[in-house]
Structure 1
C-alpha cells in the first residue's frame, strides 16, 4: 500500500468538498470553494502516480479550472462513459461540462495574473435549474440515462441525461435537508439520505417510495455537511453515512431483501460523512487452510474524526485504518476504475492518494464475470432504448409486471390517437446524429446556369458548428486535438516530445510515504475468515461486526477500534480543532447549511428551445432504463422549509442581565489575536468592575443570561453554558445548525436553530426538556416570529406576525395555541363586566397577561355584539374563560391560573348557571 498527499492539489487553502476520478484514470476533478465563487478543477493523474512525472516541469498538473459557479461547489461526478462532468453547488445550479472540439493551445485563467494555465478546454453545455436550495450531492445512473441531484430544499430531482434539461421526476417525501444520493447498480432503485433521520429507497419504475429506514438514525443529529451513502457493486447492500448504535457512530448496512438493518461498520469516533464502494468485486484465497477462493467487495469509509478505513467483506476487521489523515473532516472518496487507486479530499483543502496491490485486495472480476453474477442474482435483461420503455426491464415481482402492462396499453392508445390525427409517430432530428454523420452544407446548395452556360450558386448561410467534443482522450495521448493555428507551448510536453529526466528545481513535491496493511501479528486476534459460497454473495452475514445486544445506557467494547493499530504518517501534524481556519480571512467561511432564505418552491415549466441553444448528441443506448409515468401520479408536496436569519459574529457584543444593584453586564469581544490564533473573550462586569473573564475558542454570535445561568452561542454551532460566577456548567452543546434565537430564564436555556428546530435544557439537573422540535407546524407562508421567550419553568412562548401565540407542551407532545388576536371568542367575550368589578390590585400580571394585553381590551369593545342573543353571548364568554384557564395552566403560571379560575366561577354565579357550577367543581376535585 502506498499513501501520499500531493501538496499541489489545492484550492488555495479553501475547502475541497468533492473529488472524482475519470473512468479512464487519466485525470480527476475536484470541487469546492474559490476566491469569490465556486471552483471546479480538472487535474492530471500522472504526477500523482509517478514521482518522476511530478518533478517534470514539462508535464502539467492542473489541466483546467472552471469558475462558472456563483457559490461553493459541493459535488462533482463524471459520467460512467467519461463524456460529461456534472457539478452542483450552493448557487442552486447543476452544470454539465464537456470538452471543446477545437483546441487553440493553453490559455490563462482570467483573474489569476497569468499564473494559472488551462491545458484543456471544458465548456458548460447545460445548466440545470429547478432546485430552490443548495445542491449537496448528485449521481449518474449506471448507464448514464439519468442524473439524480439532491438539495436542501428537501427534494430529489431525476433528470433525463439524454435530453437535458428535461426532468423525469421530482421525488418528495423527505422533511429535512437531503444530503446524499446513490443508484442501485442494476437500476431498479435509488437511495437517498437526509437530515430528517431517515434513509429512503425509491423505485425507478414509478418513482414512488419503496422503503424508509429510520431506526439506526434516531439518535443522529445533523452534524455533517453531507451524508454520502453507497450501494455495493453486487447490489445486495446499502451502506449509509452517519448512523448511531448504542450512542456510537457507525455506518449502517442495509440489506436489499426486506431492507433489514442487522449489521453495521463500527470503529469511527465521530460521524461518518462518506461511504464509497470499490466498483469491482474481488476474489482471493482468504483462508489458506481451506484453500478456496472467495468473492468479496471493498468499501472505504471517511469520517469527521479525520480518519479513513478500508473494509473487505471477507474480513471481520478493517484491512487498514489511517488516523489523523487530515486536519479536518473527510468530505469525499473516489475509487479508480481499476479498483487499486483511491483519492480522498478533506475540508482542510487537501487531498490524499492511496494505492493498493493485488496481493492486498485480490484479483478483480472481469466485466463479463460481473454481468453473469448480476444475471444469476437478478435475472437476464436486454438492452433498453433511450425512450424509457419497460419492455426489457428486470421483472422481480408481479406489481412491476402489472405496471408494465398498463404502461404498454396506455402507449398503444396514445400512438393510435396520433396516427388518426395524422401526426407522425417518429420524427428524425437531424441534430441527433452520430459523430460520423457530419452535415454537408454543399449538398443543399442551389445551383443555376445562365444562357451562356455559366454556373450561378446562390449563397447559403452556414451556421457555426457547435464546439463540443467527444469523450475526452487520456491526457498525453498521441491524438491530442490541436487546431490549425495552435502552436505548442515550449514549456508543455505534447505528443511525441521526449520527457526530460531531470526534475525541475522549483516544482512542488508531495509527501510520500509507504504504509503496509495491517498484518495479523499487529492485531490482538488475527482476522480469520469463515468460508462461504458467494452465489449470490453471503459473506456479509458473518464478516461484519454485529450490533451490540447491550442496552442504550451501557457501553460496549466496540465504541473504539482498540484492536486496530493506527497507522500514522510521518508527516502528520498534531491534532487541531475540527473547524478549519482558512488562510484568507476575508473570504466567507463555508458552513454546513445555506445562509440565505430559500426561494418559493416551483415546478419548472417546459420552455421552447432557443435556436442558438446547442443540441447534444445522444449517448449510446444504455442497458438498463426503467420507464417514466405521467406526472399526475406524484401528488405529495414537501413542506416549505424554514430559514431563520443567523446573526453575524460582530466585533463586540454586550448584554445586561437583571436590574438594579445586582445587575451585571456581559461583554463579548471577538477576533482577539494571540500568537496567530483567533480567540473570543467574555467579561462580566458589576458596577463598572470586571468580576471574571474567560476565553472561547471560536467567535460568539449571541448572548443570553439570567440570574442563574449564562449562555453564549458560538460560530461553530455550539453553546457555552456558564454560571453567574463564570464557571462552565456543561460541556459545549453542539447543535445541528447555527443558532438564530437564544434565551435564558432561571435555570432553563432555549435555543432555536436557523432551520427552526427548538431545544430547551434544564441546566440545574443537566437534562433536555424539549429536543429538536420543529417550528414548521406553527409557521406557514410568510409568517415570521415577532417575539420569543422561555418562562422560568422552561415553557417556550412564540408570538407570530399573524397575531397568534404558541407554546410547546412536553406532556402532550404538540404545539398549543395560547392566544389569537383574531379569535372570535377573545374579541366577543363579555367577561369584562366581571373584570371591572375587581380591584386593579387583584388583577395579576404574568406571562399570559403580557401576551394578551391588547386582546383583552378588544373584548370590552365587542361585548355588545350578541345582546340580541344572550345564550350565544354566554357560550362565547364561557369558551373564552375556559381557554384562559387552560392557557395559564399550560404556561404553569399558578397566579394567573387561580385568577382566571375565580373569574370563571364568578361569571357562572352571575349568570346563575347552577348545573355548570356543580359540574365544574366535580371536575376540579
Structure 2
C-alpha cells in the first residue's frame, strides 16, 4: 500500500496557509479530483501527478496539476459530487445554493488570477431551493435525479432529465438538520440521515416513507458529519455515528428488514464518514461448497484522524491508518479502479491511498455479478428518457468509468489550445456597437451559448487515468454537517432582575442595579485595544474554556465552550448545553465547530449566542435550533451580551450591533466605538437594557449611550476621578446621579435601569440634592414630574417605550406617585418646607 500526501493540493490563503478542504470527489474516469474549500472555491486537479511521482517531477506545462479554479459561491463549499457519466459537477455551499458545472471548450481565467485555467468549467445551472446550508448531494446512478439535503431539515429531489434540473419533490419529515444522503444503486430507494438520530428510507416510486430507523442511533452523540454509504449491490447501508452500548460504531443496515444486526467496531471516536468501494470481490469457491459464495464488498470508515478499511470476508479491519492527518477527516472517495482511496481533512490537505492488497485478498467480481445481485430485488425503474431530447444519449445506461465516455477525437496540447483555439459558432456572432455622445463606444455582448461538444469531457492533455479491466460505477458519497436537533419551544422569561452566577467570575465591571448578563467574554481591558484607524491593536486572546449558567424556574442551564488551543490558529472547538435539575446534570446537546474557534458566547433563559473566529454569529434556542440566520460581522465577536431577548454584539473592530432575536429585528447599529477615546483606552463596562439600549464605559473616561434617534453616541456621565473606586464595581446610582453633584439628573439612569430601579435612583438623587441644598434643581425636577415635561413624559402605549436616553415614559398615575415620594424625602429638611407644601396642595386638588 502506498500513502501519498501531495503538498500542492491545497486551497491556500493570502499568506500561503492551507485552508480547510470540506469535500473531495474523484471523477468516474479517475483522471480528475474535485475539491471544495472554506474559501468559497472549487478546484479540479489532475490525479496523474498525485499518483505518479515521475509525472509529478516532470514539467508542469506538459503535465498540469491544477486544471481549473471555479468561483461563484458566496459561502464555503461543503460538498462536491460528479455525475456517474462525468459530464456535470454539482457543488453545495453554506450560501444555500447548488451549482451545476459544465466543461466548455477552450481555456479561461478566474477573476483575479494571473494564470489561465487549463479547463474551462462554467456554471450551467444555479439551483435555489434550500433556505440554509446545503450539506449533502447525491446523484442517482442513472444521473436522472439529484438529491440535496441541508440545515433547513429538508430533502430536495431535483429532476435532471434532459438537463432541466427542476425541483421535483420536497421531503420534510425529518425533525432535525439533514446531514447525509445516498441513493440505492438499484434505484428503488433513497436514504437520508439526520441530526434527529434517524435514518429514513424513501421510496422513489411515490416519494413516501418506507422505513424510519432509530435504534442504532438512540444514544448517538452529535457529530460534524453523518456521511452514509450504500453497498454497490444494494444489499446494505453503512451508517456513521451509531452506538453499540457505550462503544462508537458504524451500523450496517440490512435492506430486507431495515434493521441493524452488525456493527463495525474499532474506532475510539465517533465515526463520521463511510464510503463503499464501487467494486465487488469474489473468492474461489471451496471444493465442498454447495453454492457459490456471496460477493464481498469493501468499506472505508473515517473517524477523526484515523481511517479503517473493512472487507466483508473478515470480522476485523484489514487496514487501519492512524495520524495521516493532524485534524478531522471530512470526506472519502474511492476511484473507479477499486484500489485508490482519496481523503481530505480540515487541516487543508488531501491524501491518496493506493491499496493494491485488495486484489490479493479476493478477485474483482465481473460486472454481471453486481447486475445479477441488483436484479434479484425485482425492481424495474420507469423509463423517463426521451429520444428526441438533444442530450438523451447522456442518459443511456451508465458508461464505463474507465476510458473516455465521449466520441474519440484528438486532444490538443495546452500550448496548441492557447495558440490556435478553435472558434465556435457562438464566437463568430456579430456584436452590436454604439457610439455614445461622449465619443465612447458601447458594445452589446453577444450570447456565447454552449454547443453539444461542451457536454463531453476530453481526456486530459498528457493525462493519466486509472486503469482497470472491469467497467464499474462509482458509488455516490455524501457530505453532511451535524448541527443541532429540532427544538421544542421554551417559554420566554423576564430575566431583567435575575443575577446569573458563574463558575468563573466574569472580570468585567457590572452594575449592581442591573441584571448581570450571561456573557462569557473575557476582561476586555486585558485583551483588546483599538488603534487610530479603528482596528484593535492587539490580537484576541482566545480562552481555552468558557462557562456560564442561568436559572429558569427549577432548572439551571449551563453552557460550556472549549477551544483546543489558545490562539487564532485554533480550528476545533465545541459548545455543550446542559440542564441541572435537583443536582442531576444531563447534557442537552453538543455542537462541534471544525476550522473555527469560539471567541465569545452568551446565554439567556431562552437563547444561546456564539461568536466564531470566522466572523460569524450563531443564535440557537435552548433546544438547539438555530433561530436566526448566520450573521457575518466585520471581524470576530469578542463581546456578546443578552438582556431578555435583546442581544448585543461588539466585534474586534469595535462595531456594536443589537438584535431582538425573538422578532428577528435589528434594534441598534452598526455603530463604531473607535472615536470614543484615544488609542490606548479599553472598554471597562457594558450594559444592555430590555429595550435594546447600549451603555459603554471606556477606560476611566465617560459613560456613553447610543441614541438611536440621533444615530450617535451621547455622554451619560463624566469620568471617574478616584482610581481606587474605578477598580471596584460601578454603582448604578453613582453613574446615573452623581452624589453631591450640582448637575441635574443624568440620562444614564434612563438607559441603564428598568422603571423600578430608576425611581429608586431618582429618590436617592433627590436626597443628594436636598442635602446639598440645590433648591432650583429640585424645583425643576418636581415641576417636570407634575407636568410630564422635559425628560419625563406620559406613556401613550407600550410600543412607544423606546430606548432613548432623553425621555422616560411614565403614566400620569406613576408620575403623581413618584412626586408624592419626592415630597416625603424633601419634608425631612426644613429648608424645603415651602416647596413641599406647594406640591402637596397640587396633589390634593389634582390639577395644574
C-alpha deviation, 1:757, in angstroms = 4.9
Pick aligned residue for 1:474 from 459, 478, 482: 459
For residues 582-731 of structure 1, the aligned pairs below 5 Å read 654-655=507-508, 668=522, 680=541, 696-697=543-544, 713-714=561-562, 716-718=573-575
SS in 2 for 1:736: strand
2:26 corresponding residue in structure 1: 21
Whether the 8 Å CA contact 1:153–1:641 is kept in 2: the answer is: no
Q: What residue in structure 2 maps to residue 94 of structure 1?
A: 98
TM-score normalised by length of structure 1 = 0.49
C-alpha distance 737-710 of structure 1, shift in aligned 2 (>3 A): closer
- Other-structure match for 1:84: 88
Aligned equivalents of 2:626, 2:54: Cα separation in 1: 59
CA contact (8 A) 1:188 1:204 kept: yes
* Structure 2 match to 1:160: 159
5+ long unaligned stretches in structure 1: 388-425, 442-461, 479-492, 494-589, 595-637, 645-651, 682-695, 722-728, 759-771, 777-784, 790-798, 803-849, 854-925
* Aligned mates of 2:522, 2:643 — CA distance in 1: 25
Q: Secondary structure at 1:212's aligned position in 2?
A: strand
1:497-548, Cα deviation, whole Å (9 max, x unpaired): xxxxxxxxxxxxxxxxxxxxxxxxxxxxxxxxxxxxxxxxxxxxxxxxxxxx
Counterpart Cα distance in 1 of 2:186 and 2:139: 13
* Secondary structure, counterpart of 1:143 in structure 2: coil
Check the 8 A contact 1:283/1:362 in 2, yes or no: yes
- Provide the rounded CA distance (Å) in 2 between the counterparts of 1:658 and 1:464: 65
Matched, 1:274 2:273: yes
Report the 3-state secondary structure (helix = DSSP H, G, I; strand = E; otherwise coil) of the residue aligned with 1:281. strand
Aligned to 1:736: 591
- Measure the CA separation in 1 of the matches of 2:206 and 2:247: 37
Q: Secondary structure at 2:19's aligned position in 1? A: coil
Structure 1 residue 719 displacement after superposition? 5.5
Residue pair 1:713, 1:742 contacting (<8 A) in 2 also: no
In structure 1, what is the equivalent of residue 243 of structure 2?
244
- Distance, in Å, in 2 between the alignment partners of 1:208 and 1:9 is 42
Q: Provide structure 2 residue ranges, at least 5 long, that are not aligned to the other structure.
A: 13-17, 395-405, 408-423, 427-445, 465-479, 493-504, 529-537, 564-572, 579-583, 594-599, 611-617, 628-641, 647-659, 664-752, 757-848
Distance 2:508 2:218 in 1: 37
Q: How far apart, CA to CA, are the structure 2 residues paired with 1:287 and 1:736?
A: 51
Question: Does the C-alpha gap of structure 1 residues 252 and 669 become closer, same or farther in structure 2, counting only changes over 3 Å?
Answer: farther
Q: Map Cα deviations across residues 385-440 of structure 1 (whole Å, 9 max, x no partner).
A: 326xxxxxxxxxxxxxxxxxxxxxxxxxxxxxxxxxxxxxx9x677979999xx99
Find the counterpart in structure 2 of residue 312 from structure 1. Answer: 311
Q: Which moved more, 1:261-270 or 1:40-49?
A: 261-270
- In structure 2, distance between residues paired with 1:314 and 1:433: 39
What is the match of residue 206 of structure 1? 206
Residue 109 in structure 1 maps to residue 94 in structure 2: no
Q: The residue matched to 1:378 in structure 2 has which SS? A: coil
TM-score relative to the length of structure 2: 0.53
Following the alignment from structure 1 to structure 2, what is the Cα–Cα distance between the partners of residues 431 and 351?
Answer: 34
Q: Distance in 2 between matches of 1:463 and 1:236?
A: 48
What displacement does 1:742 show?
Answer: 2.3
Q: Is the 8 A contact 2:520 2:601 kept in 1?
A: no
Match of 1:329 in 2: 328
Do the aligned residues in 2 keep the contact of 1:25 with 1:45 (CA within 8 Å)? Answer: yes
SS in 1 for 2:101: strand
Over 3 Å counting, the alpha-carbon distance change for 1:386 and 1:669 in structure 2 is farther
Give 1:333-732 correspondences, 5 Å limit: 333-357=332-356, 358-375=358-375, 377-379=376-378, 381=380, 384-386=383-385, 465-467=449-451, 469-476=454-461, 654-655=507-508, 668=522, 680=541, 696-697=543-544, 713-714=561-562, 716-718=573-575
- Whether the 8 Å CA contact 1:21–1:29 is kept in 2: the answer is yes
Q: How many residues align?
A: 515
Match of 1:143 in 2: 142
Q: Greater relative contact order (Cα 8 A, min sep 6): structure 1 or 2?
A: 1
Secondary structure, aligned partner of 1:717: strand
The alpha carbon displacement at 1:71 in A equals 0.7
Structure 2 CA distance for partners of 1:16 and 1:702, relative to 1, 3 Å: farther
Rounded to whole Å, the distance in 2 between the matches of 1:286 and 1:655 is 75
CA RMSD of aligned residues (A): 4.9
The alignment status of 1:301 with 2:285, answered yes or no, reads no
1:56 partnered with 2:43: no
CA drift at 1:360: 3.8
User: For residues 178-218 of structure 1, what are the alpha-carbon distances to aligned partners after superposition, in whole Å with 9 as ceiling and x for unaligned?
Assistant: 11000001000000001111111101010011111112212
CA distance in 2, matches of 1:200, 1:368: 30
Q: Distance in 1 between matches of 2:521 and 2:67?
A: 51
Conserved 8 A contact 1:717-1:734: no
Q: How far apart, CA to CA, are the structure 2 residues paired with 1:271 and 1:654?
A: 37
Q: Secondary structure at the match of 2:54?
A: helix
Contact kept, 8 Å, 1:276 with 1:334, in 2: the verdict is yes
Question: Which residue is 1:39 aligned to?
Answer: 41
Deviation string for 1:789-824 (max 9, x for gaps)? 9xxxxxxxxx9969xxxxxxxxxxxxxxxxxxxxxx
1:111 shift after superposition = 1.9
Partners in 2 of 1:158 and 1:474 — Cα distance?
Answer: 31
1:337, distance to aligned residue in structure 2 (A): 0.9
Question: 1:28, 1:42 within 8 Å by CA — same for their partners in 2?
Answer: yes
SS of alignment partner, residue 10 of structure 2: coil
Separation of aligned partners in 2, 1:146 and 1:265: 31
Q: For 1:624-681, what per-residue CA distance to the aligned partner results, in whole angstroms no more than 9, with x for missing partners?
A: xxxxxxxxxxxxxx99999x9xxxxxxx975468969xx99997258979xxx99847
In structure 2, the CA distance between the partners of 1:74 and 1:773, relative to structure 1 (3 Å rule), is: closer
